[in-house]
Amino acid sequence: AQTIHQWPVAEIKAVGSPLSLGCTIKGKSSPNLYWYWQATGGTLQQLFYSITVGQVESVVQLNLSASRPKDDQFILSTEKLLLSHSGFYLCAWSHREISNERLFFGHGTKLSVL
């Protein structure tokens, strides 16, 4: 069975500090990977997607970057946090090339920027 693990569970960071969030997918080779962001009480918005190692596409510009250093790992980062980065970050995966396939979400990381 496939599992998705996100870390950390929660972070409290200062404005201007760096950030690194990660997720790992086990039990599934070559998944499509995604980062979503949810403002408190808000909807989910896709930030990045990746279909293969080393290839990441940005969907919205939020002064964040993402990388996929390994087939099963997806990293979200920034060098300087903004207050607007606060929210809930969700990593997700799906089977490749199955357009009607559901997304499998991780448990998320709650980020508070102070």
Partner 1 sequence: AQKVTQTQTSISVVEKTTVTMDCVYETRDSSYFLFWYKQTASGEIVFLIRQDSYKKENATVGHYSLNFQKPKSSIGLIITATQIEDSAVYFCAMREVGAGNTGKLIFGLGTTLQVQP
> Mind giving me the DSSP string for the chain?
--EEEEE-SEEEE-TT--EEEEEEEES-SS-EEEEEEE-TTS-EEEEEEEEETTEEEESS-SS-EEEEEETTEEEEEESS--GGG-EEEEEEEE-TT-TTPPPEE---EEEEE-
**Which residue among 24, 65, 73, 94 contacts partner 1 (CB under 8 A)?**
94
Q: How far is the CB of 79 from partner 1 (least distance, A)?
A: 26
Judged by CB under 8 A, which of 66, 90, 111, 113 binds partner 1? 90
- The CB-of-9 to partner 1 minimum distance in angstroms stands at 10
Q: Least separation, in Å, of the C-beta of 16 and partner 1?
A: 26
Binding residue for partner 1 (CB under 8 A) from 2, 16, 96, 112? 96
Residues 46-65 that bind partner 1 (CB under 8 A): 46, 49, 51, 57, 59
